[in-house]
Amino acid sequence: MNKEQCYTKAQLTWLMMLRLFIGWHFMYEGMVKIMNPKWTSMPYLLDSKGFASSFFIGLTQDANMVDMINLANEWALLLIGLGLTLGCLYRLSSVGGMILLAMYTLSHPSFIGAEYMMPFEGSYLWIDKNLVELAALGLLCVFPTSQIFGFDRMLGKVCPILHKLKLI
pLDDT for 114 equals 61
Q: Tell whether 2 is covered by a domain.
A: no
Q: Is residue 150's pLDDT more than 50?
A: yes
Cα–Cα dist 131/115, whole Å: 18
**For the ranges 33-42, 104-113, 122-131, which has the lowest average pLDDT?**
122-131
Model pLDDT for residues 59-76, shown as the tens digit of each residue: 999 999 999 999 999 999
Check pLDDT > 60 for residue 4: no
pTM score of the predicted model: 0.86
Domain span at 81: 7-164
The gap between the terminal CA atoms of the chain, to the nearest Å, is 20
Is residue 1 included in any domain, yes or no?
no
When divided into structural domains, the chain yields a total of 1
CA 123 to chain centre: 22
How far, in Å, CA of 15 to CA of 60, rounded?
Answer: 38
Confidence bin at 122 (pLDDT 50/70/90): low
